[in-house]
Amino acid sequence: MAKQIKTVGVIGSGQMGNGIAHVAALAGFDVVLNDVSADRLKSALATINGNLSRQVSKNVITEAAHQAALKKISSSEAIDGLASCDLVIETAVEKEEIKRKILHELCAVLRPDAIVGSNTSSISITRLAAATDRPEKFIGIHFMNPVPLMELVELIRGIATDDETFDSTREFVTKLGKQIAVSEDFPAFIVNRILLPMINEAIYTLYEGVGNVQAIDAAMKLGAHHPMGPLELADFIGLDTCLSIMQVLHEGLADSKYRPCPLLVKYVEAGWLGRKTQRGFYDYRGDKPVPTR
């Protein structure tokens, strides 16, 4: 039987974390947003408020729903602030050792019946679950970016995830108004297993001089009707995240077709990570984005 989820904790107040807090609060859940930095929490709450206001101006939600959602979100710099949550979703960076450390600290303060979810986009759910004291209550809940706009959530069971955890999480995601795709616990799951090799191939196409940034993005937008070109999309996702996912695919599936493009590695080494650092395959420091190659 599904367990009733009322209070949701979100660890990490970045793009994914504030998006998850936004949709959960709008769906009527009490939300505790956790981050080690007070400044990041403040900025996340401002982002959520701005995004809710945008939904009001587009008549997606009412002003009353905007105000009600804001009242549902509280923030906490301490992990103990999550002690009373029924479900906690971790949205830290895509690095396994960091996620394991957070999960270890989290389980020490949680009730034994609380469910723990990870928003990882590629790391083994079974392996992350093994770092907790409750592998049967651990599940992958992979939201797409930007969370308020994207309709899909991938649900991934680890080898130990029990039926109650799966049913409770599925019910929670459905209440958010999202569609569910259930994936087996294989590297990068479904969306990124298909999407990231395409992006990596676009970077190889650039690296080998088949086309420049503009030509590659125009080709996929106009020739395949993609809403965003693959290099523009890579900048949006973050080139460091793209590289992490390709590394997980390459190591996990041991197939050379998943080898990260050397040009992607070079951009990450340069600190050109896309939109968040103002430079990636495009330079965002001027009035409009300019290709960097």
pLDDT level of residue 189 (50, 70, 90 thresholds): very high
Residue 1 domain-assigned (yes or no): no
- 205 with 176, same domain: the answer is no
| 80 lies in the same domain as 22 | yes
- Whether 177 and 90 map to the same domain: the answer is yes
Residue 224 lies in a domain: yes
CATH number of the domain to which 220 belongs: 1.10.1040.50
In this structure, the answer to whether residues 23 and 155 fall within a common structural domain is yes
Whether 131 is covered by a domain: the verdict is yes
Same domain, 220 and 98: no
Q: Are residues 38 and 150 in the same domain?
A: yes
As a whole-number percent, the residues of the chain with pLDDT over 90 amount to 98
Q: Domain ends where: 165, 183, 201?
A: 183
Rounded distance between C-alpha atoms, residue 272 and residue 237, angstroms: 12
Give the total number of structural domains in the chain.
2
Helices (H) and strands (E) in the chain, counts: 11, 10
- Residue 280 CA to residue 230 CA, distance in Å, equals 12
Helix (H, G, I), strand (E, B) or coil at 4: coil
Residue 159 in this model has a pLDDT that exceeds 80: yes
In the numeric block, which tokens belong to residue 47? 């982002």
SS3 264: helix
From 164, 183, 202, the end of a domain falls on 183
Q: Is 149 left (phi over 0), alpha (psi -120 to 50) or beta?
A: alpha
The reply to whether 30 falls in a domain is yes
Q: Which residues are known to be catalytic? A: 121, 142, 154, 192
Asked if 94 and 19 sit in the same domain, the reply is: yes
Q: What is the pLDDT of residues 118-153, one digit of tens each?
A: 999 999 999 999 999 999 999 999 999 999 999 999
Give one DSSP letter per residue of 101-126, joined into a string: HHHHHHHHHS-TT-EEEE--SSS-HH
The per-residue pLDDT of the chain, averaged, comes to 97
Residues 157-183, mean pLDDT to the nearest whole number: 98
- Considering the entire predicted model, what is its pTM? 0.93
Looking at the domain assignment, is residue 217 inside a domain?
yes
Provide mean pLDDT across the span 208-224: 98
Are 118 and 245 contained in the same domain? no
| Domain interval for residue 260 | 191-291
Q: What percent of the chain has pLDDT over 70?
A: 100
For residue 2, being part of any structural domain is answered with: no
- What CATH number does residue 141 fall under? 3.40.50.720
Do 267 and 153 have their domain in common? no
* pLDDT for 3: 82
Q: Tell whether 36 is covered by a domain.
A: yes
Let me know whether 104 and 170 are in one domain.
yes
- Give 203's pLDDT tier (boundaries 50, 70, 90): very high
Mean of the pLDDT values across residues 243-270?
A: 97
Chain segment 40-98, per-residue pLDDT in tens: 999 999 999 999 999 999 999 999 999 999 999 999 999 999 999 999 999 998 899 99
The pLDDT of residue 107: 97
pLDDT digit string, tens, across residues 73-84: 999 999 999 999
Does residue 216 share a domain with residue 163? no
Q: Are residues 75 and 170 in the same domain?
A: yes
Going from the C-alpha of 197 to that of each of 18, 33, 80, 193, the distances in angstroms are: 27, 33, 39, 7
The residue out of 131, 155, 183 marking a domain boundary is 183
pLDDT score at 112: 96
Q: What average pLDDT does the segment 93-110 reach?
A: 95
The pLDDT value given to residue 2:
79
Q: Does pLDDT of 1 surpass 80?
A: no
